[in-house]
Amino acid sequence: IRNGAVEAIEAVFGGNWHLNRGFVYTLPAPARGYRPREDLTDCAAKLPTAGKVVAELKFAFWRFLFLKGQQPRIWDPHLAATFPGYDKALTLSEARARLFDDIDEVRKLRNRIAHHEPIFARNLHEDHQRIRRIIEWRRPDVAAWLDSTQQVTALLSRRP
C-alpha cells in the first residue's frame, strides 16, 4: 500500500514530496483523532530523507491518501500504474474507494491484533480476501505466489 502510494505521490510531487507544501496542504487536519498533515510535517522536520519519513509514518497516514479529495490529483493519473492489478470493471473512482475501504478494514484488524484484542467476532475470511485483493491490485504476481504458499484459507475452513 505504502509503496504504491509513494510511487503515485512522487509522480505528482517529486522525490521531495514530504517537503512539498502543495502536497502537505492536500492532507486533512482534523481537530481530533489522527492528524496526517501534522504527522507528515513532524516526521519531515526530524528525518533527513523521504525514505526515512515513509518508514516512520503511521499506517493510518496511507489510508488518508485514498480519500476522495486525492482522486483527481493522484489517483486518476496514477492508480492504474501503481495498482496495475486493480479490477478494470471498476472506474478509477470506484477502485480508489474500494482501496480506501479495504485499507480501513485492514487497519482496524491490525489495530485489534496490535492491542491484543479478540478478532474472533470478525469475518476473518473477508479480512483475508481484502488483504489478498490489495496485494493482487498492487502486484498480481505476488498474489499468485501468495496463493501457492498461504495456509490461511485452510485454517479458516477448520474454524469452529
pLDDT in tens, 59-84: 999 999 999 999 999 999 999 999 99
CA distance 14 to 24: 13
**Distant-in-sequence, close-in-space partners of 11: CB < 8 Å, separation ≥ 6:** 77, 78, 81
The mean pLDDT value of the chain amounts to 95
Q: What pLDDT band is residue 159 in, cutting at 50, 70 and 90?
A: confident
Q: Quick one: 64 exposed, middle or buried, by C-beta within 10 A (0-12, 13-18, 19+)?
A: buried
Helix 124-138 and helix 140-149, axial crossing angle in degrees, nearest 10: 140
Task: With H, G, I as helix, E, B as strand and everything else as coil, classify residue 85.
Answer: coil
Q: What pLDDT band is residue 136 in, cutting at 50, 70 and 90?
A: very high
Average pLDDT of the segment spanning 146-154: 93
Average pLDDT of the segment spanning 24-52: 94
Segments forming the whole domain that contains residue 99? 2-157
Residue 124, φ and ψ in degrees, nearest 5: -70, -30
C-alpha cell at 21: 507544501
Q: Is the separation of the CB atoms in 86 and 137 below 8 Å?
A: yes
Number of independent structural domains in the chain: 1
Predicted local distance difference test score (pLDDT) of residue 160: 79
Predicted local distance difference test score (pLDDT) of residue 75: 98
Q: In the chain, what's the furthest Cα-to-Cα distance?
A: 52
Q: pTM of the entire structure?
A: 0.90
